[in-house]
Structures are given as structure tokens and as C-alpha cells.
Amino acid sequence: MDKHNIIMTTSFEALGLRTEILEAIKDLGFEHPTEVQEQSIPFLLSSDSDVITLAQTGTGKTAAFGLPILEQIDESNPKPQALILSPTRELCVQIAKDIESFSTKMPKINVTAVYGGASMDAQRQSLRKGSQIVAGTPGRMCDLIRRNAIDIRNIKWLVLDEADEMLSMGFKEELETILAETPKERNTYLFSATMPDGVKSISANYMRNPHTIQIGKKNTGAENVDHLYYMVNARDKYAALKRIADINPNVYGIVFCRTRAETKTIADKLMEDGYNADALHGDLSQAQRELVMHKFRSKFIQLLVATDVAARGLDVDNLSHIIHYTIPDDYEVYIHRSGRTGRAGKKGTSISIIHSREKGKLKQIAATIKKEFTYTPVPNGKQICEKQLFAMIDKMEHVEVEEDQIEGFLPVIYQKLEDLSREELIKKFVSLEFNSFLRYYENAPDLNIDPKGRSSERQGRDRGERGDRANRGDRRERGERGERSSRERRDSAAFSRLFINKGKKDGLMPKDVIGLVNDSLRSRDAKIGHIELLKNFSFFEIEKEYTDELLKSMRDKDFNGSKVAIEVSNPMPEKKNKRKKKEWSRDGGRKSFGQDRNKGKRKKF
Ligand code: AMP
């Protein structure tokens, strides 16, 4: 507890709480109320008004709503009277524990925590026994309502804790379902660190003339931001970006690029390589822009690649990282970008990926904004694999088991796996997800530049010290940099690459591209090369001699009721050479140049 938040003048006694509560919190070592408690407790005790409290985590919010609720609760009625919703299982358990500890001297009070990833039976049993206070996550709460395992039609208090987090985690529908089930006369207390539009609309639709309590500064901004930089050769920037994303499996951030073209290229490459990424730049229509922003806000996209101008209207508060793929010339732009993380009392990280000639520019920014920039080496394959492995295990530990959905399959599965020991089972499940990662990073090269500006990888190569293993790494490095093998170069020289304004979201499939080409060309001999389907648009290759004819004739074609537009595009985006190209025959069959497209594709956890 930050001592600045504690109000030294007021005592808990003066706030109007009963002896049992005062004794319990004294046992916990609470001597004076915090700012949020000092403002909320008397208000909640004396007013029937709904309340919005803007306060960050760790300010003593749980007691701020928990103590007034305990003061007014009907101990003799075992039915749920207070429902507290919070975004995560951890927070929900913590709230239940805290309220239990505030009510140790109120023996008739029962508190139940309900959250996903744990047996529903135990939670239902606890509810059956009677609980005046229920703390829950929105998903599990909805499940319980659906199964008639909880009756919240008569609750008196509804607390929405970390409402902004709940919405940004995509719980809007669940919240609305729960709110619709509660009585109109309830008191609603909404706690949030920030007031994004979603929270405003919840308060407008579901709260009655809420009173607002604001605690502390609205945004502590740059104070909570760590500034790091990675130094690589210019051609290795993209590979470094991927490693940064991989070493931060829960990254949620914006990758800033300088131009629209760079933004598009980087986003396309990231999507191709299996990352949850998309681009935000000036070439998007308003509808496309809103769609991308919506996906980013709801965390469907983890990495948003954007230009400074396009990101201007985007207000997202809980970003973990800002990545400067190209550092700006202007230090104010750097401040503006970095200030998008480290908000609402949370820690943020601002990462610059620079090459040796940009070091001076970065030093200048650091000196102007008076921040220390920490040099950080690009992680190696082993470090990344370790991080990903533990992230995966953590995810497995917390995964919500849909008991009802899977119970029918379990007997057969148990029978199939009965000869495997616990250890073997664990190893196999881990390998299932993890092998592609290990393979991808096996022998991954060192991307860091030494002070003389040469990469460590290159030094080894120059000295001729690298054996067979290292050569495999070299090929992989070429792949990461997007250099293609001579075989691939020869193939692509015979093809033009065309852009088509239809993508997966329009339902475009390779067979449709082939169909459109067939309908447009007189000759049946033209070979179609690589087809690359992206979300909003796609690319495909056509033998060069047919390019002009196709450009003319395909332009007027329709696909799913809207006009097709095609144009000649830049060369193929860079790709890992381990992912071989496919060639498509005109009859729709696939002539493979190599392995299956998805085999060996590095998958993001
Ligand atoms: P919360 O914001 O409710 O998660 O509280 C943050 C931490 O502060 C918890 O560990 C509480 O137990 C503690 N805390 C809350 N109120 C007080 C207080 N008045 N005095 C000392 N510690 C407190």
C-alpha cells in the first residue's frame, strides 16, 4: 500500500463502521483509511446513489466497497445480496478472501468465489449452502445463471471491479446478460482505472445518475515506462521484432513504423508468420479502420502495426509495449508514442529497434526527454523457447475446462491414453504445441551487433569457425531476413505478382482465384504461382506473359457480388525459406514445390 494514499487524519471509527468490522480491519493492520476508502465509505453508507470510482489497482478499492456492503448487509438472509464482478480469476479470489478477512467477526457471513478453470460443482455446492456475497468472473457467473445455480434477482449491490479490464477482455456480452438479470433497484458501484467508451456506455445504460469519485492523477503516463533498445543490422530488424514478440508472449502493443508502405509490409509479414497482428494506416477506409481498432481493443490483435498519424485516434489504456520499429526524428513523437503505455498505474515498456547509425539519434532523444535507455540484447532461441514453454504451461494451468462439452469424449480418450504414465502424458502434450517452436529456433543466429557494428553471427562466419549446425542456422537466418534461395528466385522471375482487393474476409479461397483467372484468360496454359490470402486482400502470381491480358479482363469480374480490382504489386514479401512455395495448376489441383504450407510453420502460442 502506497503510504501517499493513506489519509492520516481520518480514522475508520469516524467513517461510521460497526465494531465487528473495525476489529477485523484492525487485526489486518489497517490503521487509517486510504483516499478511496475515505471518500467512498461514508458516501456509500449514507447515499442510495450509484457510484463510479476512478481509481487504480492497489489503492484499497476492495475495502472501499466491501466495508460499506458488510455494514449494511442482512446477515440473517443467506441469499446473495451483493455480487462483485471482476475480470480475472486471481482478482476474484483475492476479493473474496479480502471480504472474508473483513468479516471474520461476523460469523453468519459467507462469501463464495465463482470463476472458470475450476470445478463448477464445488462452487454450486457453496452457493447452495447460502452466500450473502458472491465474487465472480463474468463468464462463470453467466454459466451459473444459465444453469439456475444462482439467483441474483434480489441482489442489493452490484460491484463492477476493473470495469475497463472486463470490457477490454471482451466480457461486454456477459456483463449485459448479468446486468439484465439483476433488479433495477440495485445499487451499482463501478470501479475503473480509466473511462473508455465501453465503460461510459455501461454507466449510461445501466447506472442511475452515478456520483463520480476520482482518486489520484488520471494518468501517471511516462513515469511508469521503461525505455529499452535493441541494436541489430538494418536487415535484421524484422527478425528482431519477431523475437521481441516471442519473448513477450502476452505482448499487447503498437509497432510504430514510419511510412504506410512499411506499416503494410511489416503487418503482412507478421500475419503470414502466424502472429495476431494487423495494420492501421491511412489507406484504410473508415470501416476497415474501425474494424482493425475494434479487434485491437478487444485484444483479438496483439500487435497493431501503425503509422503515427493513423494511431492518433486510438485510445487504449492497457498496452504492455510500444515498439518503435523505426525511431522518430522528433523527440515529441517519441514521447507521444511511449506515453501510450504505462498508463493507469501499470508498468509499460517502450522498445526501440535500431541499427548502428541510429544510435546517435536515440541518444539525443534520451538526453532531451531525460530518460535512461537500457541496451538489451536480442534474445537467443534458447531464451525464447524457455519463455514460451513456461507461458504455455501457465496457460494450460489456467485453461477453463468446459466440463459439459468434453465429458462425452473423455472415456474413449482415457482408454486411448491409459498406458501412458503421468510424465509421458505431460511430455507428449507439451511437445505437441512446442516442437514447432523448438525446430524454428534451433540454431537461430545471434542478431546483436557488437560495438564495432558487426553481428556476432558474421564474426563466426568470417573466422570459418562454424560447423554444420551453424550452417543450418545461417540458412535459417537468411529465411528470417527474407532472402530466398536461388531456386525460388528463378521460379519467381517467371511470374508477376498481382494484388487483388478480395481476401479471406470476403470468403476468397485459392480455388476462387484460380476460377477468376480461368474465367479471364483465353489460354488454359498460364501457370498460377503462389497464392497468398490475407484478411482484407490477397496476392497471387501469374506467369509474366499473361499479366497484361489478366489485368484487362479480370478487372470487370465480380466476386460474391462486388467488383474485383487487381493491380501489379511489389515483389513477394520476404518469407522464411523453410516455408516452400506452392504452385497451383489451372485445374485447381496443387502442384507442390515442397512441403505442405503449414508444416513447420512457426505457430504463435
Ligand atoms: P486493493 O486495492 O483493495 O487491492 O488493496 C491493496 C492492498 O492494500 C491490499 O493488500 C489491502 O489489504 C491493503 N489495504 C487496503 N486498505 C488499507 C488500509 N487502509 N491500510 C493498510 N492497508 C490497506
Residue 372 CB burial class (10 angstroms; 0-12, 13-18, ≥19): exposed
Q: What is the pLDDT of residue 124?
A: 96
Neighbouring-strand partners of residue 430: none
Is any atom of ligand 1 closer than 6 Å to the C-beta of 58?
A: yes
CB 529 within 8 A of CB 581: yes
Q: Is the CB of 63 under 6 A from ligand 1?
A: yes
Q: Would you say the CB of residue 59 lies under 6 angstroms from ligand 1?
A: yes
| Residue-wise burial string across 171-183, b where 16 or more C-beta atoms lie within 10 A, e elsewhere | bbebbeebbebbe
Q: Quick one: which atom of ligand 1 is closest to the CA of 98?
A: 12
DSSP annotation of 108: T
Instruction: Say how many Å lie between the CA of residue 93 and the centre of ligand 1.
Output: 15
Q: What angle do CA 8, 12, 15 make, to 5 degrees?
A: 110
Most confident of 248-252, 451-455, 519-523: 248-252
State pLDDT tens for residues 324-361: 999 998 787 888 888 888 876 778 999 999 998 898 89
Determine the atom of ligand 1 nearest the C-alpha atom of 57.
2
Look up residue 467 and give its three cell numbers. Answer: 560447423
- For residue 605, what pLDDT band results from cuts at 50, 70 and 90? very low
Q: Which residue has the cell 479470489?
A: 93
Residue percentage of the chain with pLDDT more than 70? 83
Gap from CA of 443 to ligand 1 centroid (Å): 48
> If we measure between CA atoms, which residue out of 421, 425, 438, 433 comes closest to residue 476?
438
- Does residue 88 sit in helix, strand or coil? coil
Q: For 287-317, what is each residue's pLDDT tens digit?
A: 788 888 888 988 889 999 998 878 866 768 7
> Ligand 1: distance of its center to the CA of 484 in Å?
58
pLDDT in tens, 234-251: 889 999 999 999 999 889
Indicate if the pLDDT at residue 594 is higher than 50.
Answer: no
Q: Is the pLDDT of residue 155 over 50?
A: yes
So what's the pLDDT on residue 139? 93
Q: What is the DSSP string of 543-575?
A: EGGGHHHHHHHHTT-EETTEE--EEE-PSPPP-
Distance between CA 275 and CA 382 in Å, rounded? 20
Distance CA 237, CA 255 (A): 12
Contact 144, 120 (CB under 8 A): yes
Query: So what's the pLDDT on residue 9?
Result: 54
Cβ 68 under 6 angstroms from ligand 1: no
Neighbouring C-beta atoms of residue 147, cutoff 10 Å: 11
pLDDT, position 450 = 61
Q: Whose CA is nearest to atom 15 of ligand 1?
A: 60
Query: DSSP letters of 531-545?
Result: EEE-SS-EEEEEEGG
- Minimal-distance CA residue to ligand 1 atom 18: 30
How confident is the model over 560-569, as pLDDT tens digits?
Answer: 888 888 888 7
For the residues 551-559, what does the mean pLDDT come to?
A: 83
Ligand 1 pocket residue status of 53, Cβ below 6 Å:
no
Burial of 502 (0-12, 13-18, 19+ CB in 10 A): buried
Dist. CA 22–CA 3, nearest whole Å: 20
Ligand 1, from 25, 40, 62, 69: best to mutate by most atoms within 8 Å of Cβ? 62
Question: Ligand 1: which of 15, 30, 161 to mutate, judged by most atoms within 8 Å of the beta carbon?
Answer: 30
Distance (Å) from CA 59 to ligand 1 centroid: 6
Percent of the chain scoring above 90 in pLDDT: 38
The answer, yes or no, to whether residue 282 has pLDDT greater than 90, is no
Report the separation in Å between the CA atom of 60 and the middle of ligand 1, taken as the mean of its atom positions: 4
Higher pLDDT, 527 or 599: 527
Tens of pLDDT, residues 167-185:
877 899 999 999 999 999 9
Contact between 58 and 2 under an 8 Å Cβ cutoff? The reply is yes
Q: What is the pLDDT of residue 463?
A: 30
Distance from residue 145's CA to the centre of ligand 1 (Å): 31
Q: What is the pLDDT of residue 485?
A: 27
Distances in Å between the Cα of 165 and the Cα atoms of 39, 62, 125, 322 are 23, 16, 29, 19
Question: Which atom of ligand 1 lies closest to the CA of 34?
Answer: 19
444: which DSSP letter?
P
CA of 123 from ligand 1 middle (Å) equals: 26
C-alpha–C-alpha distance, residues 566 and 549, integer Å: 12
Residue range 91-112: mean pLDDT, rounded? 95
Expressed in angstroms and rounded, the spacing between residue 1 Cα and the centre of ligand 1 is 6
Listing DSSP states for 131-191 in one string gives: -SEEEE-HHHHHHHHHTT----TT-SEEEETTHHHHHHTT-HHHHHHHHHHS-TT-EEEEE
At 386, which helix (H) or strand (E)?
Answer: helix 381-398
Give the position, in ligand 1's atom list, of the atom nearest the Cα of 33.
Answer: 19
Contact criterion met (CB below 8 Å) for 102 and 135: no
Q: How many CA atoms lie within 13 A of 73 on its CB side?
A: 31
- Confidence band of 570 (pLDDT split at 50, 70, 90): low
Of 4-13, 90-99, 330-339, the least confident: 4-13
